């Protein structure tokens, strides 16, 4: 017969709750790790954020004054990335080792995806309606592809979802170190991952196989943007450089340095893939023209910039909880 101590140990489970505080009604507690713009709601004036307080928030900017419209609670640790699935659903990645799918219209949790054994740092989702897979990457060399319609990992069988079971999803093999950044082509077929391995890995999401490696960065890769066609990508690193890559030829075609004095953590590119917006530890938000290779300082933030999402206002998220 099991002792009382053994029964208590087996029954322990993580619990999270939020204590309301007026000061934080319209602000994350701690840094904002992720920003996502909903381009189909209110002409792009709805913004989703993930914070170090373990919450996901939606912000109504239609009036010109930011208002926290809804708070999504459930994660037991930092939210490291958020990614829009469609006009009514959002995915979030957390240091609590889970990926959660939210119904943004109702403010409810749709599903929790388990499989990661360490922090989940990044998400990627194709922009086309035909792209049904969601990718998640994190520490411990783990990269997963998820069928978001069924809520299961497509790279393994069986996999677990919503509730822990005796069988667990296993990640795609091939990564040699922790993953901090992901992005994917518009159709969801070309996936690029990067992190502490320094080299970028290129994956075919359809066959779930590794297709190539891009070498050049000398420190952790912090951000990746893949163009819609999947032929090229732009990356930012703690080595203070931005690089442009030809994915098909597996080589770096441009390197930019000198615009930042510290690690570059945040990156986004305009629709024409001609201008790169970047920021990081030095609080500088810069734009670099890929054609003439000129970089311009746009502004200085009040704290280190953790994430940038490009729209008409070039929004950024900082380490002091502001957007």
**pTM higher than the cut 0.75:** yes
Q: What is the pLDDT of residue 64?
A: 75
- d(CA 292, CA 297) in angstroms, rounded, equals 15
* Contact between residue 93 and residue 121 where contact means Cβ atoms under 8 Å apart: yes
- d(CA 9, CA 20) in angstroms, rounded, equals 30
Extract the residue ranges of the chain whose pLDDT is less than 50: 41-44, 156-168
Q: What is the pLDDT of residue 98?
A: 94
- pLDDT tens-digit profile of 136-160? 999 988 888 888 777 666 654 333 3
């Amino acid at each position: 017969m099991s002792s009382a101590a053994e029964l208590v140990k087996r029954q322990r489970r993580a619990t999270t709750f939020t204590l309301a505080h007026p000061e934080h009604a319209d602000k994350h507690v701690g840094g904002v790790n992720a920003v996502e713009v909903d381009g189909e709601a209110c002409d792009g004036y709805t913004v989703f954020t993930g914070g170090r307080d373990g919450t996901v928030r939606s912000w109504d900017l239609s009036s010109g004054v930011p208002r926290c419209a809804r708070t999504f609670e459930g994660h037991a640790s930092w939210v490291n990335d958020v990614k829009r699935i469609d006009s009514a659903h959002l995915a979030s990645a957390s240091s609590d080792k889970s990926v959660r799918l939210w119904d943004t219209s109702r403010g409810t949790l749709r599903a929790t995806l388990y499989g990661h054994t360490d922090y989940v740092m990044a998400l990627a989702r194709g922009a086309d309606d035909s792209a049904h897979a969601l990718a998640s990457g994190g520490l411990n060399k783990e990269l997963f592809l998820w069928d978001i319609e069924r809520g299961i990992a497509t790279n393994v069988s069986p996999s677990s979802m919503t509730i822990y079971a005796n069988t667990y999803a296993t990640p795609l093999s091939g990564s040699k170190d922790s993953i901090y950044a992901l992005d994917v082509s518009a159709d969801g077929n070309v996936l690029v991952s990067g992190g502490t391995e320094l080299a970028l890995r290129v994956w075919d999401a359809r066959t779930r196989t590794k297709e190539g490696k891009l070498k050049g960065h000398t420190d952790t890769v912090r951000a990746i943007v893949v163009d819609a066609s999947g032929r090229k990508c732009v990356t930012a690193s703690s080595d203070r450089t931005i690089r442009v890559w030809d994915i098909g030829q597996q080589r770096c075609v441009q390197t930019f340095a000198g615009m930042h004095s510290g690690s570059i953590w945040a990156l986004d590119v305009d629709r024409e893939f001609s201008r790169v917006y970047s920021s990081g530890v030095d609080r500088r938000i810069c734009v670099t023209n890929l054609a003439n290779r000129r970089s311009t300082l746009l502004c200085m933030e009040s704290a280190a910039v953790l994430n940038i999402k490009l729209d008409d206002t070039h929004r950024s998220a900082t380490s002091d909880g502001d957007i």
